[in-house]
Chains A and B, each alone.
Chain A
Amino acid sequence: MDKTLVLRPERCTGCHSCEMVCSLTHDGECNLNLSRIGVMKTNGGGTNENIPVVCQQCNDAICADVCIMGAISRDEATGALLVNEDLCVGCKTCVVACPLGGVLYHYVKKCAMKCDLCGGDPECVKSCLYGALDYLPLDSWGWRQRRKGSENLGQLFEVVYGK
């Protein structure tokens, strides 16, 4: 992949725009349960209030490993891990195994669903004017931002759940 989706949870305001536009462009309706990206809200006294949660297109993806139909594979162009809906039997092992909650179950199509980076032009990024989501080239800056986003999230949860 030469571009990566970067998360900056400190800028997320919990507005749900990313979720609505994701389900809108993939499934033609606005549905928080059919969105491949989610906003997790805390209001719990953490340093951050709202956390965007989406597939990180991991290098060593556990979802691709556990798929008993080999239905998850890497798209050469975007680097996204894509679910082949013709192969998927809806067993939900990938949903169960993903540590991030990045793979979800499409309750209408009855198969796995996850971020596909919209083929290289992510809609959620375009809808987030707050800068909580970005799509950056994978140069050293991009990698640092990607790392920072993940670590940021990790520390955030230590604070929220660790108290």
Chain B
Amino acid sequence: MAKSKVAVIGNGIAGFSSASTIKRLDDGSDVTVFSEESVPLYSACVLPNYISGSISRERVFVRDLEDYKRLGLRTIFGCTVKEIDRVAKKVFTSDGQIFSFDKLVFATGSEAVLFGERKKGIFKLKSLKDADDLLAHKGRRAVVVGSGAIGLEVAIALHLKGYKVAVIEMLESLLPMALDKHGAEKVREIIEGQGIEVYLGESATVVVGGESVQGLVTSRRSLECDTLIWAVGMRPRVTLARELGLKLGEKGGIRVDSHMETSFPGIYACGDCVETDDMFTGAPSLNLFWHNANRQGAIAARNCIGLRRAYPGSQNILNVDLFGNHVVGFGHTETAMRRSCHKNGDDPTDLSVIEKEEVDRYFRIVLFKDRCVGAQFINVEKDLGLVLNIMSLRKELKSIQRVFDKRTSISQKGWLGRINPLFLSGK
């Protein structure tokens, strides 16, 4: 292995994962991590916990600056990367620094989709600063636009802080990327049962207010609020990549091959900024989750230093706690599958569903051509990993159909089929 000089653009989990993996596997390499934030790696996933007060600000951090030193990583924090010259192999920062590199890893992450003007009282929840700002703002009535994981978690956090909260969702049900209608109805009962208002099938049209937000007009009603949260989705941050000329995918993320390499050799990309193949369907997707970014970073790192390793695909894994109710979603909903069947000209009769409802639990498995492509669970505590494993292995359910049909919990603890070779790779 040649001693590489690697520039990692971004200090989210993808960036940190790739940087630390490179250093771990190739101690002599020279690795620089660039970040526009000044703080060490933190978990954006737990920002709602921080907002609600259940964890302190310190606990949001996953690493401290000492860790970077210990790992031998050079850090350029608090300034942006202005330009990259891929011929000269140089990185130019906004404060005038210049760094040369042999290999480059893009880990620029994603940004929240926003609408309308910025007013006081309008927030997104992407970064630690967003959370700090929201906490500093002492509001009383909040409207959260979007009912994905972030939207619902923020809504609950604000509710626990004493806000009167309303959630607006454009589609017909909550958590639409993770749950079909039946499961989503149960979620709605949980959320409304705690006093959060839910409006489905309504989109935000006009933000009302001058300097500060005073309300939101939806397609059906007017709501007063002093706090407005946009939680309508994330999109890859690809400005720098586009300027560099990297090929982008149909979903808007940086297109990478199966070894996390971009259209330019020697330049890799990982995390929320990339577009990858979905593990369950094989289709190009934006599965913008921490675990995908983490794994992609580690794999990009290996390929970057010459250890060939293929990326098996990204997974949609949603896991939220809604007032003590554990809601989990893997892969694709039946609704989403129907849409893509229609689009691809596939036979919709190849789609089927197994569903089991009990007093305190619910699960649904979505099958396409007898392979499990999606699963939804509410308060099921066992065997979820088993289902995820089956989905990842793209195993046909023919042989184990009866297991799902008959049993509330599939087995005592989840083992099934061959152990995923991904997770038990040997020497």
- Which A residues fall within an 8 A CB radius of B? 38, 40-41, 51, 53, 56, 58-62, 64-66, 68-70, 87, 89, 91-93, 95-101, 105, 143, 147, 150-151, 153-154, 157-158, 161-162
Contact = CB atoms under 8 A, between A and B. Distances in A.
Interface in B369-427: 381-386, 388-389, 392, 399-400, 402-403, 411-420, 422-427
A61 B328 CA distance: 20
Given A40-B412, A66-B291, A101-B415, A61 B423 contact: yes
Interface string B52-78: 000100010011000000000000000
Contacts of B59: 87, 89
20 contacts: A40-B413, A59-B424, A64-B294, A68-B46, A70-B13, A70-B41, A89-B46, A91-B46, A92-B321, A97-B385, A99-B389, A100-B385, A100-B413, A151-B418, A154-B415, A154-B417, A157-B415, A157-B416, A158-B417, A161-B399
B326 to A, nearest CB: 7
B290 interface: yes
Interface residues of B, number: 49
A58 B415 CA distance: 14
B49 interface: yes
B258 interface: no
Contacts of B426: 59, 143, 147
Contacts of B203: none
A40 B411 contact: yes
A97 B415 contact: no
Contacts of B294: 64-66
Contacts of A151: 418-419
A93 B295 CA distance: 15
B413 A56 contact: no
B46 A143 contact: no
Interface in B266-305: 290-291, 294-295, 298
Interface SS of chain A: helix, strand, loop or mixed? mixed
Nearest to A93: B319
B234 to A, nearest CB: 15
Given A58-B424, A87-B59, 14 more contacts: A38-B413, A41-B412, A56-B424, A66-B317, A91-B319, A95-B385, A99-B419, A99-B423, A100-B413, A153-B419, A154-B419, A157-B416, A157-B417, A161-B411
B29 interface: no
Contact of B418 (A65, A70, A98, A154): A154
A150 B290 contact: no
Nearest to B326: A92
Given A68-B46, A70-B41, A158-B399, A99 B386 contact: yes
Nearest to B422: A60
Contacts of A161: 399-400, 402-403, 411, 416
Interface string B201-236: 000000000000000000000000000000000000
B270 to A, nearest CB: 13
A155 to B, nearest CB: 8
B423 A69 contact: no
